Structures are given as C-alpha cells and as structure tokens.
Structure 1
Amino acid sequence: MLEWRKISRLKKRYHFGASNGGWKYDSYPELESLDAGKTMTIAEIKGPAVITNFHSTQHFIQDPEITKEQRKGLSLRGLILEIYFNNNPIPSVRVPLGDFFADGCLGRAEHFTSFFIEKAPQSYNCFIPMPFEKSARVVLVNETKYDLMNYSFVEFENLESWDENLGYFHATWKRFAFQLDGNTNIQFFHVNGKGHLIGRSYSISTDELLFRDFTYVMEGNNEIRIDGEDNPRVDYLGTEDSFGFSWGFQKVFNGLFNGINYVNLRKPTLLSIYRFRGNNTIGFNKSLDLRINWTNERLFKSFQKSLSRKVSKDRCWIDYATTYYWYQSTVGYDHEKLMPLNERIKLISKSNLDTK
C-alpha cells in the first residue's frame, strides 16, 4: 500500500497544514474546549484539500456518583464525531467517537493499529484520506453534562486543483437489538448513490446463554447487493469469514485490515471486530445493500428449534452497534437518529435476563 517512490520523491511545493482543537491551556487560549453540551470545532479548512490525519485524546470522566461503566460509556458514546463537506448542513460523518475508532464494547478493545484507524495508549488516530473540493468542517459534539479535557488536531494537504473522480468520505453508526433465530434476515446497511465501501466495524453484545461462544451468531450469510439487483453479488457464508476469520471468533487478533480487538466468549458475550479494504473496495453506481441472513443454516436445524422456543418467551436478543465507512460522489447521508444517551451507553441494550 505504501509505494516507496511516492514516499521518497521530493515535491516542487509542499502544502501541508494542521488545525488544533480543545487544548486552550497552552499557546492558544482562544481554542474552543470540549465543554458540556457544546459543539467544539477542531478544523475549518478551505478546499480543494485532503484531510490526511485526525487525532483525538481519549477522555476520562471523574464522577463517583455513577458507575465506572457509565463513565466509560459517556466518554465513548456521549461524544459524536461529525464531518461536513462543501458547506452542506448534513454531515457526511456522524459516529460516536469510540465506535468510529472501533473501540467496541464500551472501550474494552485492546490497543491496535490498522491501515486506516488505531487505538493508541490514551488516544485515537485516523489515517483515512478525506478529499474535498470547497470546504471541510470537523467537530466533536459533547452530549454529556461534563466538561472534558481534549486535544485534537486535523492534518491536511492543500490540492492545486480538484479531481472530479475523487469521492467524499462518509461514515455512519447504527445500534439495534433483535431476536435471532432461524427466520432472521435483516438489512444492516443501505446507501444510495455512486461510491465504494472501504470497511465496517461491529460491537456485538448479548447475555443470552444460548449464544455463549457466539454459537450461531457467527453464522449468517453476509449478502451484498449492488445497484438494486435481486440476487447478492457477494454472499459470504458466515459472518466470521466475512471479517477474515474461521470457526468463530476464538481470540484477539489485530491485523492491518481485519481484527478481533476484543472478545469475551462467556457471560456476557462481547465482541469487537473490524474489516477494512484497500485495493479490494466494493463499488456501486446506484446503491449498495448489506443484509445478514440466518435462514439457510442447515447444520443448525435442531438448534434453531431451541431458539424458536426461547424467542416465544422473549429471549434470544442480541445487540449490534455497527459503523460503516465508504466514499461517495455526493456529500451528506441520511443517518439513523441516535438513540437517547442513557440508552446509548448501556453495554447491552436489550437483556435476556429480564425474562423467564
């Protein structure tokens, strides 16, 4: 991916720049800080240019009146990363900060480095290139009641001209719970327009005893339909394989393009995974649709009967928090409405232990 000629070749002109945000305690007291209920601007950049790096501190809430897990949840999902291009009022990126960096299961992910994002000690870094023609605005929205200490910066490079073939980066987040059995076939992601998908990250949690070790959860055909076609263009025969793994999610592995950066196979059952694409992006001209379909699992017929009995008793709930990353020819996306903050920060949004 890193071509030595491009790294070593000297340029006629250098157009590198950077913009700071948050840390008003040093040379720039005029910087906006990440105060409770406020939106903090990190960068406003005129185009044409390309964002090459986004860095943010991790955050720590000190409040003895709430649990450690609540403090962690607020610091990860109470802060929303938004990126706007070309003065569009609709953000192209709207994702809770921790989920954008695949720090799944409320910050339990181990430190990892991928080609595009990383969780470093006490910080996050994003290396996804984000070109734009007219303008870019990068902000953090603090939806908590706490003033938080933050230092963020955005690095960018000005372009001499705009290339119409460049796409605009987008990312979106969705959290939802559903009952999983042999009849489950759910749309996970859909986008209209022209572009290509470069990655996804999932944070999955459940306290259903039948799903220990992610039994059956790891199955499900990952069906990708392009431009409205009836049959899937790509049909990965198992979720674990679609992320680059086999025989379930056995242990932590952090690769450059795919990883399991956290897994707990017992109670509660928790998983944080990511999969990115470099030269093998999935392109679309009109639309892309991704579904996970558990209806064809022939090896699990008897197990599916057990699931159906449990479903009738309001069991077999599983919780997915999903982030998708892609480029598109236009700017803005119709993001799912974020659930209320007190629900967003729960480790498991729908418990199976509340039922009998």
Structure 2
Amino acid sequence: MNPQVPFNGLGMSLGTLSRLSKAQTRSISAENPTGAKGQGGMATEGTTAAFARELGQGWKLSPSISIAGDTTAVLADIDGPGAIQRIWITTHPEHWRRLLLRFYWDGEDAPSVEVPLGDFFCCGWCERTNVNSLPVAVNPAGGFNCYWEMPFHTHARVTIENLSPDAVENLFYQIDYTLTDVHKDCATFHAQWRRSNPVPYMDVHTLLDGVQGWGHYVGTYLAWGSNNNGWWGEGEVKFYLDGDTDWPTICGTGTEDYFGGAWCFEQPEGRYATYSTPFLGLPQIIMPDGLWRSQQRFGMYRWHVMDPVRFERDLRVTVQALGWRSALNGQRRFLPLQDDIASTAFWYQAEPHAPFPQAPTFNQVEVI
C-alpha cells in the first residue's frame, strides 16, 4: 500500500468515507481545551469537581465552563492548516441570544463569523425546537450541532462573548477538527447577524450588504416576529450580484416560496405546518396564548448546499416584509409590514473580507 495517500480528509460524504487519509483528528472541549494529543480528561478542578470528589482525576471534573458577565471566553485556538468539521454546544435557552459567537481565520483581527449562539443554530427565539437539516441539527433538549465544513490555512480562533452583565453557568461544547492540507481554492466560512425591529414602513430587511470578494452564499436563517394580523410572507428575497444596483439578478416570488413552502405554509385545517428537511425548514412556530404571548413568531432556514449563489466581486441580499390589506371595493392590496426580523446569512469567500457592521449590544439582541 502506498503510504502517501493523497486524500486530505475534507469534503466528507458517504462516498469518501472508505478513503484513507493522513489527516489527524483532534477535538476541543472543556475536558481538553487545547485539543492536544493525549491531553483529554486531565483536569483536577472544574464545574463538576465536587460531584467527582470521591472518584478523582479522570472522572468528569470539567465538562463545561462558566463565563462571567461582559467577558469573552476562547473556545478554540488552533494552528493549521486544517478544518473544523463539527461543533456541538449547549446551554440554557435564556442564554441563546446573549452569547455572541465569533470565528477568526488565519490571523485576521476582524471576525468572519459574528452571530448570537441561538441564531447560528436556527434557534433565535430562545425557546427549544428541533431542527433536522444537513448542516445544522438541533436535538432534544437544546443540543446544537453544526456540520458546516470550516477550512483554515494557518490558524483558527473561536470565541464566545457574554453580552449580559450576569454570568452564564454551564456552557458545554465540543469542537471536532482535523489537521490536514487545505487546498488553495478552499474559501473560509462566514456568517453575519442583522436585525430590523421593526422594519421601516415600505423598506426592506437587509440580510447582507457590503460583501466584497469572490465567494458563494450558502444559507439563510430568519427569526421572524409578526406585528400584524394576517399573512406576513408575500415579500420577495433578492440577491444583488457583482455590481447590481437598482435591480437584482435573482428575485424570488415570496418568502414561503424561498423557504421551499407554498400557500402560506398552511395545512388543510387552517393552521401553519412545521417541517424540517435537509435543506429547507420552518421548524418553529410560536403562537399567541391569549395572555402574555400576543404575536406570532417563526423560525425558518434555507441552505443553498445544492444551489450556492456564486459571486465574484460583491453581494447584497434583502427580503421584503409584505402582507395584505383589507379589500377595498373588492380589490386586494399588499401591505408593507413593520415586523421584527432577525437574520443570519451564511457564505464562503476568499479572504480578506469587508468589515462587518458594529457588533450588536445586549439590548439589541434581546427577544422582545
């Protein structure tokens, strides 16, 4: 057998699973914060040390971390080349919007990912729901899993900031990665969060703007809070590519259409239907309860895994908030809505990337 196996262990699928590779598997967690070989489970103190006091070292002394208020913790600091292949993380739902994830690639000072924890995993409303998609899976009860492949050429750094003044107790996490050669044509992973609360009247919500460089758009998550009665999803999703100004190259036909649904996501009995598939989903529907919950809220995703939106110079993405007015003289009319829309846009691009908007504050991410 030739010991010089060319396969670098990336681009994994069932079709590549049998191939040998010289890639080295590593994993970072609170039990091995550096991911070093043969260094796991060595803690002598940690968040559960009191529970293991009769068992001693090696018996689950440090499975999680705590993050003081208004501080940032480093989850991973990895010398490459290599790629993050899977992330698992969990904490109490009340923390999902107050924790801000950041990823830095190849020594850059500015993050390529800057997203609240829950929104990154399609759970922007700080309430548990299950997601059954290919790159993101959320399992009972609040187990966040991410399979986006995240290559880096020299270095990767992952941090999480506690935006609130109160400590976050018991953040559990595991970051699985491989150390291997990375092809020069591998772009780095990016994600950005934006919120319009509310969307200005007769304006649009911008998911992404100011992106410069060569890359491809791979996904959208929306946490949509409806501030009106009636249907809210007539608005079109538009992609402005490579110099488009007034008019986009890609213009969809409606919000539910973009997310792969139809006819208001409605079931025959007149209710919304949830669904969660490998690339498209409306997994979360939060309904009024007749007392304190006054509005409908929705969580939906669309992954462009089989149909990435490619750009060479620049990219802007928007969505309209559009519903219906009451009929006037028998004629229906559209109603521009002023809803609460928080979006997470996912894309790959060659570095360097353009600066992101100013990071949100604790009050700006709050579920209201």
For Structure 1 versus Structure 2, the TM-score category normalised by the shorter chain is 0.7 to 0.9
Q: Taking structure 1 as reference, are residues 31 and 295 closer, same or farther at Cα in structure 2, changes over 3 Å only?
A: closer
Tell me which of 207, 210, 228 is aligned to 2:243. Answer: 228
In structure 2, C-alpha distance between the alignment counterparts of 1:256 and 1:30, rounded to whole Å:
30
Alpha-carbon deviations, 1:37-82, whole Å to 9, x = none? 221211111111010011111226xxxxxxxxxxx2xx11111111
Alpha-carbon spacing, 1:294–1:344, altered in 2? closer, same or farther (3 Å): closer
Query: Which of 58, 67, 84 in structure 1 is aligned with 2:91?
Result: 58
- Aligned counterparts of 2:205 and 2:347: Cα–Cα separation in 1: 20
One-letter code aligned to 1:337: Q
Deviation at 1:232, TM superposition (A): 2.1
Distance in 2 separating the partners of 1:278 and 1:286: 21
Find the partner of 2:175 among 132, 145, 154. Answer: 154
Asked if 1:323 is matched to 2:323, the reply is no
Gaps of 5+ in 2: 1-10, 32-45, 50-57, 266-271, 289-293
Letter in 2 for 1:319: D
Task: Give the structure 2 partner of residue 44 of structure 1.
Answer: 77
Mapped contact 1:105–1:205 kept (Cα < 8 A): no
1:88 equivalent in structure 2: 108
- Aligned pairs (5 A) from 1:90-169: 90-108=110-128, 110-121=129-140, 122-144=142-164, 145-159=166-180, 161-169=181-189
Q: Is the 8 A contact 2:66 2:167 kept in 1?
A: no
Distance change >3 Å, CA 205–CA 136, structure 1 → 2: same
What amino acid is the match of 1:228?
G
The amino acid that maps onto 2:73 is M
Relative distance call for 1:5 and 1:226 in structure 2 (3 A) is: same
RCO higher in structure (CA 8 A, sep ≥6): 1
Q: CA RMSD in A?
A: 2.9
Alignment partners' CA distance in 1, 2:62 and 2:122: 32
| Deviation by residue 1:108-167 (Cα, 9 ceiling, x = unmatched) | 5x21221111212232111100000010011111122124112211111111x3311000
**1:202 CA displacement:** 0.2
Alignment match of 1:256 (pick from 256, 278, 303): 278
Cα distance in 2, alignment partners of residues 275 and 35 from structure 1: 34
- Tell me the CA shift for residue 169 of structure 1: 0.1
**Structure 1 gap segments, 5+ residues each:** 61-71, 309-315, 348-356
1:91, 1:333 within 8 Å by CA — same for their partners in 2?
no
Q: CA–CA distance in 2 between the matches of 1:226 and 1:77?
A: 31
Could you tell me which residue of structure 2 aligns to residue 8 of structure 1? 18
1:240 aligns with 2:256: yes
Q: Percent identity?
A: 24
- Structure 1 moving runs of 4+ over 4 Å: 26-32, 293-305
SS in 2 for 1:153: strand
Within-5 A mapping of 1:172-187: 172-179=192-199, 183-187=202-206
Which of structures 1 and 2 has the bigger CA Rg?
2
Letter in 2 for 1:16: T
Shift of 1:179: 4.9
In structure 1, the residue matched to 2:29 is 20
Q: Letter of the 2:83 partner, please give it.
A: V
Q: Is the 8 A contact 1:52 1:127 kept in 2?
A: yes
Report the counterpart of residue 191 of structure 2 in structure 1.
Answer: 171
Question: 1:207 and 2:216 equivalent?
Answer: no
Structure-2-length-normalised TM-score: 0.77
User: Which residue of 1 is the match for residue 43 of structure 2?
Assistant: none
1:186 & 1:35 partners in 2: Cα distance?
33
| Amino acid aligned to 2:139 | A
Match of 1:272 among 295, 299, 308: 299
The amino acid that maps onto 1:232 is P
Say whether the 8 Å CA contact 2:100–2:115 is kept in structure 1: yes
Residues 99 and 160 in structure 2, CA contact (< 8 A), matched pair in contact too: yes
Q: Residue 241 of structure 1: SS of its match in structure 2? A: helix
The aligned amino acid for 2:92 is: H
Tell me by how many angstroms 1:99 deviates. Answer: 0.5
